[in-house]
Amino acid sequence: MAYQRAYFPVKTISLSQGYGSGSSTHKLSYAIDLAGIQNVYAPFDCKVTKLYQPIDTKNHANTVWLTSTKKVLSPNGYYGYLTISITHPSEISKMRIGTIYKQGEKICTTSKMTGNATGNHVHIEVAKGKDSGWVKKTNGKYSEYVILNKVKAEDYLFVDEDSTIKKKAYKNKNYNFIKESDITYVVKNVPSEPLNVRSTTSLNNTKNIIGGLTNGEEVIKFYDKGNMSYIYHYEMMGYVANRYLIKKV
Ligand SMILES: [Zn+2]
Q: What is the pLDDT of residues 85-136, one digit of tens each?
A: 999 887 788 889 999 999 999 999 887 666 666 688 999 999 999 999 999 9
- The CATH architecture that domain 12-178 belongs to is Distorted Sandwich (2.70)
CA 85 – CA 146 distance, rounded (Å): 10
What's the gap in Å between 31 CA and the centre of ligand 1?
6
What's the gap in Å between 94 CA and the centre of ligand 1?
22
**For residue 223, which of 81, 2, 75 has the smallest C-alpha distance?**
75
What's the gap in Å between 9 CA and the centre of ligand 1?
15
> 116 versus 12: which is more confidently predicted?
12
Number of helices (H), then strands (E), belonging to the chain: the values are: 1, 24
What's the gap in Å between 47 CA and the centre of ligand 1?
22
CA 186 – CA 178 distance, rounded (Å): 18
What's the gap in Å between 51 CA and the centre of ligand 1?
17
What's the gap in Å between 185 CA and the centre of ligand 1?
35
What's the gap in Å between 160 CA and the centre of ligand 1?
21
What's the gap in Å between 84 CA and the centre of ligand 1?
14
What's the gap in Å between 86 CA and the centre of ligand 1?
10
What's the gap in Å between 29 CA and the centre of ligand 1?
10
Q: Is residue 221 very low, low, confident or very high in pLDDT (cuts 50, 70, 90)?
A: very high
- The CATH architecture that domain 181-247 belongs to is Roll (2.30)
The answer to whether 144 and 28 have CB atoms below 8 angstroms apart is yes
CATH topology match: 12-178 vs 181-247: no
What's the gap in Å between 49 CA and the centre of ligand 1?
20
What's the gap in Å between 33 CA and the centre of ligand 1?
5
The pTM (predicted TM-score) of the whole model is 0.94
Domain ranges of the chain: 12-178, 181-247
pLDDT at 113: 64
Pick the most confident of 54-68, 116-130, 160-174: 160-174
DSSP string, 40-65: EE-SSSEEEEEEE--S-TTTS--EEE
What's the gap in Å between 30 CA and the centre of ligand 1?
10
Q: Is residue 246 very low, low, confident or very high in pLDDT (cuts 50, 70, 90)?
A: very high
What's the gap in Å between 243 CA and the centre of ligand 1?
42
